[in-house]
Chains A and B, each alone.
Chain A
Amino acid sequence: MSRAIDKLPKGWSGLTSDFSSDQKAFKGMSWGKAMMWIFILSDTFIFSCFLISYLTGRASTTVPWPDSSIVFGLDVFGTSVPLLLIAIMTFILISSSGTMAIAVKYGYEKNRKLCAIFLLLTALCGAAFVGMQAFEWTKLIFHEGVSPWGNPFGAVQFGSFFFMITGFHGTHVTVGVIFLLIMARKTWRGDFNTGRRGYFTTMKSDYVAIEIMGLYWHFVDLVWVFIFAFFYLW
């Protein structure tokens, strides 16, 4: 099927023609989706500032930094496996990203049931992630003595940066899970097929909302990719 948007110039000349055109600069993109992208840009700056602060704290300390593979290791059947819990968490979050992308696909195909199921799977993975993060925190605080103001492994700031960064990320995941559940309910109920009006904003529902939710969820996964690399692996 030929859509109007396919007739626009592509590539770099498309960039100049889009920005010099009237009405929309991002052709074919709903306002909500554009807003979510710009919000993600802003949130990326927040997490970048967190990671840059962590980098500065770690690089300028004269006290040695704790070895993360030891601190975050799990004792499984008597052997200490480094970073096992973190690896599981990473796989779970990546899977949730996969289920989210598939949910968006079924959303656009107006497949109410499969979309809702995959949204629920995503929410489940997200909740599991938060649960494991909470377990990690409990283990570190109560069993290992790692706190925001000190730890027995090395530099003092290790605990503070860890709890702050993972706390912020975990909060984002939790908020995402709540919204996923709301979206799943709306999808199951058929709100996106009928265009039922929302309770707070009284605006009509549309399947593009699932894509917007997806963008947020993938962003949360993206942040974890960076945290995993910089904090746990480095």
Chain B
Amino acid sequence: MAQYNNNKVKTHKIGIYLWIWGLLFVFSFFSYMVDYLNFEGSLRWTLIVLFMLSKAALIVAVFMHLFWERYAIVNILLWPMTLMLLFVWIMVAESEYTLLTRIFYFILGS
């Protein structure tokens, strides 16, 4: 009987959770510092996104256990989320266009 069930689940040692917990604190602290120290422009933007993605990756991979799951579920989950970035890109361009038309018609054209 090849039952692939969870009855004999190997659990991790508690250490790994505490380490990741700590790392998350560190990244959160750094993100907070980006604002506290008033970084500006693209440096601010890059750092915020970097720390955010690092925290997200740690939570998904370790706490949600995805690092140890089989590739089938990992790919099913990660590709749609990545493709949402396409929607983000399109809406960014769209907002720029909306702003352009507003400035053009309401501010410049008035």
Contact = CB atoms under 8 A, between A and B. Distances in A.
Are A and B direct contacts in the complex by CB distance below 8 Å?
yes
Contacts, number: 167
A52 B88 CA distance: 6
A234 B34 CA distance: 10
Which interface class (under 10, 10 to 19, 20 to 34, 35 or more) fits A?
Answer: 35 or more
Contacts of B64: 214-215, 218-219
A226 B60 CA distance: 13
Nearest to A42: B80
Interface of A: 1, 3-5, 8, 10-12, 14-15, 18-19, 24-30, 34, 37, 40-41, 44-45, 48, 52, 55-56, 58-62, 69, 82-83, 87, 90-91, 94-95, 97-98, 100-102, 105, 108-109, 207-208, 211, 214-215, 218-219, 221-222, 225-226, 228-230, 232-234
Interface of B: 2-6, 8-12, 14, 17-18, 20-21, 24-25, 28, 31-32, 34-36, 45, 48-49, 51-52, 55-56, 59-60, 62-65, 69-73, 75-77, 80-81, 84, 87-88, 91-92, 94-96, 98-99, 102-103, 106-107
6 contacts: A18-B71, A40-B77, A48-B87, A55-B92, A102-B14, A218-B60
